Structure 1
Amino acid sequence: MLLVSASIGLYGCSSLPAVVPDLAVRHTPVQLEGAKGTLSVTQSKAVLAKLAASGQGSDILQRHLALEEAIAGSPLTTGNDVKLLQDGPATYQAMYAAIESAQDHINMETYILEDDEVGQRFAEALMAKQRAGVQVNLIYDSVGTLGTPAEFFQKLADSGIALLEFNPVNPLTAGKDWSINQRDHRKLLIVDGRTAFLGGINISSVYSGGSFSKRAHSAQSDGLAWRDTDIQVTGPVVAELQKMFLQGWEKQKGAAAVARNYFPKPQAAGNYVVRAIAAAPDEAYSQIYGTLISAINNAETSVQITNAYFAPDPQLLEALQAAAKRGVKVTLILPSKTDSWLIFHAGRGFYTALLQAGVKIYERHGVILHAKTALIDGVWVTIGSTNLDWRSFLHNYELNAVVLGAGFASQVQAMFDKDLAKSDEITLEKWQNRALDLRFKEGFARIWSYWL
């Protein structure tokens, strides 16, 4: 870790902020946003009381609400419906259906958009809606689409779709604010300002296989299926996601978005309380990072994390260790196979310290784990694009949603248990007896943790 710190100092880079403990101390009543605007304190208390009554005690829920309110800059909204989507097939099917139903506009943001079977199907669906008079606006990351031919995007542009290449790799087309290290890692699809999808899934055929089948293989005959998680949301929170998309479009200085009804009158769609949280490297600190650290620091019973790329900074590492030491059951499900050699071994370099603190570590077998989820105290869930590494917290534009209440949390718990059943536990004794070559790889990879 000293080498990592030295490299940070050498290059004069920014560091992750300390989350001030006082942020958890807040006595102002939590107020919710609904379809008709801000709820009164009394109305908000009634919603939260009903939410708490469905599962865990109200004191745990209120504590998490209070600390979130102190950190996140986006409103806590009620009246939402949230659908949990596991793996590519289910997620893509729901996305296709939403695209097909579009009447006014489609806003899409993705890191990877490949020119393969899945990418082409999305392209055809989007072009068909554009030809039908539905305005399609697409943001794609320049690095994430390096392997996608220019002809693919030209075809989309020719159909009338508005395209925005995020931070172009070519400095001649990027302008004076060129920053190749800042990437758009968000995954977001919004249809008519009423339905939104977000999570970890890119647009690629590697996600075309289900990860829970007996033989979980992707479209590539010799490849493993990719295990990922998304959510589909409807209700007032979609307007917050829409703001985040349009702000990103404006920040990248794209052509003015074609006028459409981007903010239809909000309608209640369900009973879930949701907060959308975006993070960007040019902000004072990552609200996603701050919210997660505070949730872990204030956890009372359990912390259950599933994450694809795990290379924690010192504060996150300390938060996980401290939670386990004070009696919180901390369980991590991490990959056993990966598409990133360096980040995989960098993360494994922290296993000993975590295991010694009492953290339970499992590695998911039979798939490429790409999900990014956390479940805390049976009431607090976050799902999104954010990995637990320096890149996500410092260099990437990321997007997560926090869903509160035991109802949705129980679904995530069932998903976590299902993954746990297909994972191998890493015990301290087993880990201390690992091969010398693995130790060397871990040490080498940790040098580069900040940059991965």
Structure 2
Amino acid sequence: MDERLIQRMRDAGVQIVRFRPVTWYTLDRVNNRTHRKLLIIDGRIGFTGGVGIADEWNGDARSPSEWRDNHYRMEGPAAAEFQAAFAEHWIEATGELLLGDRFFPKISSIGERSTQVVISSTHQRNVMHLMLMTALAAAQKSIRIATPYFVPDELTRRQLLEARQRGVDIQIIVPGSQTDARIVRKASRHLWGDLLQAGVKISEYQPTFFHCKLVIVDDIWTSVGSTNIDDRALRLNDEANINLFDREFARTQTALFDKDAAASKPYTFSDWQGRSTSQKMSDWISSLARSQI
């Protein structure tokens, strides 16, 4: 972010701090960044999903300059849990406690949807990985995954393959040629062989960069938030997701998923086998850095 913009906001009274700035004495934590995407208003309304604050999110995926993404608004106790997650980072960055009704007003339950807020942090590093593994292992009928960065570790791939052995239909949407990280696309593609051969359906979104983060299991369990399907998100970053055990919400998200799938190009096992020698080599070399990308 431009320092002049930061200063203008500070001059206007906005409190801005850098979270875990990199210094010589914090190099051991350089990998432990925050990737949470949280906006909380008056401690009552929360937003999360894949959206950041930049020009790429100003449009509606009408051209390559406008990314395709989902974001979600919530009220009730879930918003308070996101506020607590923000407060956790704020005290680490500033030493200031956010307390009282101003930040944590009394909130009653709204609606009847069963929700679970899942937060990963420095001291709970594998929470998101455990969440995903549990969901995949429980799948009986279908798994739908939408993610901009799909670089699954060995355990994730094993869970997907075992789900296929149970007869679970698995569909995955990832970015196509429109991407902000070509090395991730290459590293991801290197790992697709066994999945495609087992019948996992992988499609590449065509119109623009695909930045949605969504997992739907058995048309009833849905997870949305900041978490990608890669080592950095599942083991290193501080992330925030909300899980909903609700058929109606899963239905609406499946409709979005299906619309995105219609704008995506299927990638087959034959496509994977037919890569050129140079492309196979490039994909393999990229995959060597998969724990850091």
TM-score, structure 1 as length reference = 0.62
Higher relative contact order (CA 8 A, sep 6+): 2
2:108 aligned partner = 267
TM-superposed deviation, 1:177: 7.8
Aligned to 2:123: 282
Q: What letter matches 1:195 in structure 2? A: I
* Post-superposition offset of 1:281: 3.8
2:41 match: 191
Whole-Å Cα distance in 2 between the matches of residues 224 and 431 of structure 1?
28
The one of 309, 313, 316 aligned to 2:149: 309
Residue of structure 2 aligned with 1:298, choices 130, 138, 143: 138
Mapped pair 1:159 → 2:12: yes
Q: Offset at 1:268?
A: 2.9
1:174-213 paired onto structure 2 within 5 Å: 179-211=29-61
Q: Give the distance between the partners of 1:340 and 1:396, measured in 2 at CA.
A: 18
Q: Whole-Å Cα distance in 2 between the matches of residues 442 and 177 of structure 1?
A: 29
Which amino acid is 2:268 matched to?
A: T
Does 1:340 find its partner at 2:177? no
Contact kept in structure 1, 2:51 and 2:69, CA below 8 Å? yes
Q: Is the 8 A contact 1:164 1:254 kept in 2?
A: no
CA spacing shift, 1:301–1:350, aligned 2, 3 Å: same
Deviation track 1:41-91 (CA, whole Å, cap 9, x = no partner) reads xxxxxxxxxxxxxxxxxxxxxxxxxxxxxxxxxxxxxxxxxxxxxxxxxxx
2:236 aligned with 1:395: yes
Change (3 A) 1:157 1:224: closer
Q: Distance in 2 between matches of 1:311 and 1:155?
A: 39
Contact 2:87 2:97 in 1 (8 A): no
The answer to whether structure 1 residue 412 and structure 2 residue 253 are counterparts is: yes
CA contact (8 A) 1:325 1:358 kept: no
- Give the Cα–Cα distance (whole angstroms) in 1 for the partners of residues 194 and 13 of structure 2: 54
**TM-score between the two structures when normalised by the length of structure 2:** 0.94
Cα drift, residue 394 of structure 1? 2.0
CA distance in 2, matches of 1:162, 1:444: 43
Query: 1:254 and 1:340, CA in 2 relative to 1: closer, same or farther beyond 3 A?
Result: farther
Write the distance in 2 (CA, Å) between the matches of 1:367 and 1:420: 13
Q: Which deviates more from structure 2 when the two are superposed, residues 379-388 or residues 150-159?
A: 150-159
1:15-414 equivalence runs, <5 A: 148-169=1-22, 171=23, 179-211=29-61, 216-217=62-63, 223-257=64-98, 261-283=102-124, 285-336=125-176, 337-414=178-255
Q: What amino acid sits opposite 1:444 in the alignment?
A: I
Q: Using the alignment, how far apart are the partners of 1:176 and 1:333 within structure 2?
A: 36
Q: In the TM superposition, what is the alpha-carbon distance from 1:163 to its structure 2 partner?
A: 1.9
Structure 2 partner of 1:69: none
Q: Does 1:441 align with 2:282?
A: yes
Cα drift, residue 253 of structure 1: 4.0
Q: For 2:17, what is the secondary structure of its paired residue?
A: strand
2:272 to 415, 431, 448: 431
Identify unmatched segments of 5+ residues in structure 2. Answer: none
Which range moved further: 254-263 or 235-244?
254-263
TM-superposed deviation, 1:183: 1.2
- Percent identity of equivalent pairs: 32
1:133-160: CA deviation from partner (whole Å, max 9, x where unpaired): xxxxxxxxxxxxxxx2212112222222
Q: Once the 2 structures are TM-superposed, how far is the Cα of residue 192 of structure 1 from its aligned partner?
A: 0.9
Which structure has the highest strand share of the two?
1
In the alignment, what sits opposite 1:100?
Answer: none
SS of the residue aligned with 1:162? coil
Q: Please tell me whether Structure 1 or Structure 2 has the larger radius of gyration of its CA atoms.
A: 1
Q: Measure, in 2, the Cα distance between the counterparts of 1:330 and 1:365.
A: 20
1:149-208 CA distance string (max 9 Å, x none): 212112222222222211113x17xx6686222211111000011100001111001112
- Does the residue aligned with 2:59 lie in a helix, a strand or coil? coil
Q: Residues 331 and 384 (structure 1 numbering): CA distance in 2 closer, same or farther, change over 3 Å?
A: same
